[in-house]
Amino acid sequence: MNFEVWPEAIELGEMFADAGYELALVGGPVRDLLLQRPSHDLDFCTSARPEEFEPILKRWGHDGFWDMGRKFGTLGALRRRPDGTEVKVEVTTYRSDVYDPESRKPEVSYGDSLEGDLSRRDFTVNAMALRVPQLEFVDPFGGANDLQRKVLRTPVDPRQSFDDDPLRMMRAVRFVAQLGFSIEPETAEAICDMGSRLEIVSAERVRDELTKLLLSDRPRAGIEAFVDSGLADIVFPEIPALQLEIDEHHRHKDVFEHTMIVIDRAVALETGPDGPVPGPDLVLRLAALMHDIGKPKTRRFEPGGKVTFRHHDAVGAKLTRRRLKALRFDHHVVDDVSGLVDLHLRFHGYVDEPWTDSAVRRYVKDAGPLYERLNRLTRADVTTRNRRKALVFSTAMDEMEQRVRELKEQEDLKAIRPDLDGNEIIAELGIEPGPEVGAAYRHMLDYRLDHGPVEHDVAVAELHRWYDERNADQ
């Protein structure tokens, strides 16, 4: 095979060879070379121990060096090209990652050959190597053939592989999403049988795999593989729970299938880098995945065969917060995704009866920085096959968004505040700071949302009117 390899990789290989050590490009970069896909970071493995290759790597990477992975046998370095682009490399000693049955973290033991290192990797398509500087292609497990067939298969017996590192099962469904591959039957069977082994893996590592899956080009395919494999039952049970049994009269949609369609539609509604929701957007995709997870708990069969899911938005928001916290997502992600789930039905009332300007202001204020994502989630959630209903909904959303644009030209909806602040309220009413000031502030905020910005004397008159009426009632 002929390879066009980064000159920096060749140079690093020559430096290792001069010192008497083997060096090979491994894993994803080799796979991407064969797929003719760009790789931004280069992974290598070597016969040298970290303390032996550290000075070589520091000489090569004169623009940066890091050793956070030292305990795993990994060191990294950075070099900047004259055009400003960066080449990042990580070099790891030949190794084996093995889990103790009771441990949540892998133990590291060093190996002594490239072929042995490759045998311990997750899948054959990642168990190929390119020795540098000689450019010798090494493929002991048929990875190139599996790459051509778009099949995921483990280099060794899948049960041994997943026992050594259970996270590889999550990687399998992630690669379904990222690469569009299928999982080889024996490997898929092992995943179904061994899913409970994932329980020893830390939530953070599972979260990272799930994040990569969702940010891929094919998140729906990955989620379907995640559920079909049984892995979701272990780490994200709210998703397979959406596979509700359809009642005999088909009074409600297949909620799981609906969710998959919503994910596809949400991805399609993401924007380019200069748009309001640049894709891939983790918050929007998580919200699309989780927007209906409150339905299984709220499903009710009413008289006459009607099926309802009352308050599934509020229930779903609580479930979303709980699950994302358990998976150790950043608190901003937790807040934003649960907020979108809570708000995802808010717009539907507009379709029946267009809102007042006051209601539009409240919608924008409640959505806050999530406004653009909320509108895209709301649009994606309309999966009806009734063209008339779909058109009515889309037209109503277009109209509401236009009204928001017009209101924004008149006032700053993102920074809506009462026309009087707390200090002005205290001065006008002659009261001390306390709960009464808070009540007055909330009333003036409601007044601002209802009436828009008003002159100062109008706001003062309204404050006194409210205060006098409040005191008269007490």
**Is there a single domain that holds both residue 349 and residue 461?**
no
Query: What DSSP string runs through 108-174?
Result: EEE-S-HHHHHHTSS-GGGS-EEETTTTEEE-TT-HHHHHHHTEE--SS-HHHHHHH-THHHHHHHH
For residue 55, the domain's CATH number is 3.30.460.10
HSE at residue 445, side-chain half, CA atoms within 13 A, is 15
Cβ atoms of 331 and 365 closer than 8 Å: no
Residue 250: per-residue pLDDT? 47
Q: Look up residue 451 and give its two tokens.
A: 């009436």
Give the closest residue to 336 by CA, choosing from 403, 270, 405, 286: 286
The pLDDT > 70 percentage for the chain reads: 93
Q: How far apart are CA 240 and CA 64, in angstroms?
A: 45
Give domain status of residue 19, yes or no.
yes
Range of the domain at 43: 1-143
Give domain status of residue 218, yes or no.
no
**Is there a single domain that holds both residue 448 and residue 367?**
no
Cβ atoms of 128 and 25 closer than 8 Å: no
Residue 456: per-residue pLDDT? 83
Q: pLDDT, tens digit, for every residue of 320-342? A: 999 999 999 999 999 999 999 99
Query: What DSSP string runs through 295-330?
Result: HHHH-EE-GGG-EE-TTHHHHHHHHHHHHHHHTT--
Give domain status of residue 290, yes or no.
yes
**Is there a single domain that holds both residue 42 and residue 67?**
yes
Output the CA–CA distances (angstroms, integers) from residue 1 to 6, 33, 123, 136, in the order listed: 16, 11, 21, 9
**Is there a single domain that holds both residue 331 and residue 408?**
yes
**Is there a single domain that holds both residue 30 and residue 75?**
yes
Tally of domains within the chain: 3
Q: pLDDT, tens digit, for every residue of 337-357? A: 999 999 999 998 787 788 888
Give domain status of residue 371, yes or no.
yes
Q: pLDDT, tens digit, for every residue of 430-454? A: 888 888 888 888 877 877 777 777 7
Give domain status of residue 188, yes or no.
no
Cβ atoms of 207 and 236 closer than 8 Å: no
Q: How far out from the chain centre does Cα 431 lie?
A: 49
**Is there a single domain that holds both residue 348 and residue 462?**
no
**Is there a single domain that holds both residue 398 and residue 430?**
no
The pLDDT > 90 percentage for the chain reads: 62
Going by pLDDT thresholds of 50, 70 and 90, the confidence category of residue 248 is very low
Give domain status of residue 225, yes or no.
no
Rg of the chain over Cα atoms, rounded to whole angstroms, equals 29
Amino acid at 321: R
Average pLDDT, the chain: 89
**Is there a single domain that holds both residue 15 and residue 81?**
yes
Give domain status of residue 396, yes or no.
yes
Give domain status of residue 196, yes or no.
no
Residue where a domain terminates, one of 143, 176, 209: 143
Q: pLDDT, tens digit, for every residue of 2-33? A: 567 889 999 999 999 999 999 999 998 999 89
Angle at 139 between CA 137 and CA 141, to 5 degrees: 180
Q: Which segments of 56-126 are extended strands (E)?
A: 64-66, 74-80, 86-93, 95-99, 106-110
Residue where a domain terminates, one of 143, 163, 188: 143
Angle at 226 between CA 242 and CA 234, to 5 degrees: 75
**Is there a single domain that holds both residue 80 and residue 112?**
yes
**Is there a single domain that holds both residue 429 and residue 410?**
no
Residue where a domain terminates, one of 143, 163, 179: 143
**Is there a single domain that holds both residue 394 and residue 453?**
no
Residue 246: per-residue pLDDT? 58
Output the CA–CA distances (angstroms, integers) from residue 379 to 220, 275, 432, 439, in the order listed: 18, 17, 47, 36
**Is there a single domain that holds both residue 291 and residue 381?**
yes
